[in-house]
Chains A and B, each alone.
Chain A
């Protein structure tokens, strides 16, 4: 596999992660339990969509077919998406939304500072920018997970249920392939497998503080990152996200 092909795939994965999670988080806009949380979720979604523009913009630039980040976001179908399955799962309650946010923020907070050292200046610049935002996100999502996990009996129960539900989707972060091998060999990315210990140590620390028990079953759903098989939920997201460009191709605000 050529480095440029691997890099295009990598940028697509990064952009699809933030695009799909950004869309999911934005679904809370106007519905969050309190106004402050509503504003926080909307701002988090904005950061994620902004990061998407950079990553998918890079993917488009490498592809060099005259496409924009918008074309990539709005004119592909399910099988072309490369986001983690974790991020396309429905929000369910506020607890599950924040648990998912934490599990992803924690990964990004470890991954992005490494990417900021990339030998590719475009990757380094995006990662440097995004890592500052993510540092802020993980502070909030970790605090909320602890607050709700170590909260009332009801909030604890819901956070444990959220963790149990989401846990089988965490392992996909480390379901690496040739893309990761080629790019880490070229000094463009840090291989995810080398960050695994650090990631599990971080989430274990926070989840323990939140008085939650980490499920023991190591089973991991896979297929989003590789594009092999998404869950049924992604199609529903795309229907809502893409209908305007599908119905009125090329329309602009």
Chain B
């Protein structure tokens, strides 16, 4: 039986978009924790971003579809809770893609560094939560545009 190279699998997963923020991939998001063969079964370990993130089911389905399309027959998805997901696992590429899309990437300081629209640093928080569990709402005091901030956890 053909065993696809693990590096190929990573590449395929890097082409699977996050269902809620489709500009970044599941690999960019840092939720794919491991890809390995267990005898003739491909095991992909996935960690949830937030416990109740409704996208989790869709993400698992998308992974399965993407890998089946590539000819992977025996596949097992495992949920890995620990170590808990942190926004530190977002790739640099992912952070850059978020900002280009209009979502300020997470900062250790707890708030966005600059407005993703105009780059100004005079900002205010509108709400601690946003349209998805991973985001908060902020506003730029210079261009007055509201924007999403990817929460730092």
Contacts and interface: CB of A to CB of B under 8 A. Distances in A.
Q: Is the interface of B mostly helix, strand, loop or mixed?
A: loop
A43 B81 contact: no
Interface stretch (B19-27, B51-59, B63-71, B93-101): B51-59
Contact of A36 (B81, B86, B137, B151): B137
B133 A132 contact: no
Interface string A128-147: 11101100100110000000
Contacts of B129: 36, 39-40, 43-44, 140
Contact of B50 (A22, A37, A39, A46): A46
A78 interface: no
Identify the interface centre among A22, A124, A136: most chain B CB within 10 Å of its CB: A136
Contacts of A22: 52
A129 B128 CA distance: 19
Max chain B C-beta neighbours (<10 A), residue from A39, A43, A54, A121 = A43
Contacts of A45: 52
A159 interface: no
Contacts of B153: 132-133, 136
Interface size class of A (residues with CB under 8 A): 20 to 34
Contact of A50 (B51, B82, B126, B130): B51
A8 interface: no
Nearest to B86: A132
B52 A47 contact: yes
A205 B131 CA distance: 32
B137 to A, nearest CB: 7
A140 B129 CA distance: 10
A50 B133 CA distance: 11
Given A36-B129, A39-B130, A47-B133, A125 B81 contact: yes
A26 B130 CA distance: 16
A50 B84 contact: no
A227 B128 CA distance: 35
A54 B81 contact: yes
A108 interface: no
B52 A49 contact: yes
Interface string A26-54: 00000000001101100111111111011
A50 B81 contact: no
Given A46-B133, A136-B151, A36 B127 contact: yes
Interface of A: 22, 36-37, 39-40, 43-51, 53-54, 121, 124-126, 128-130, 132-133, 136, 139-140
Interface of B: 48, 50-54, 81-86, 126-131, 133, 137, 151, 153
27 contacts: A22-B52, A36-B137, A40-B127, A40-B129, A43-B129, A43-B133, A44-B129, A45-B52, A46-B53, A46-B54, A48-B52, A49-B51, A50-B50, A50-B53, A51-B52, A53-B52, A125-B82, A125-B84, A129-B48, A129-B81, A129-B82, A129-B85, A132-B84, A133-B51, A136-B151, A136-B153, A140-B129
Given A49-B51, A128-B83, 16 more contacts: A22-B52, A39-B129, A40-B129, A47-B50, A50-B50, A51-B51, A54-B81, A121-B82, A125-B81, A126-B81, A128-B82, A128-B84, A129-B48, A130-B51, A139-B128, A140-B128
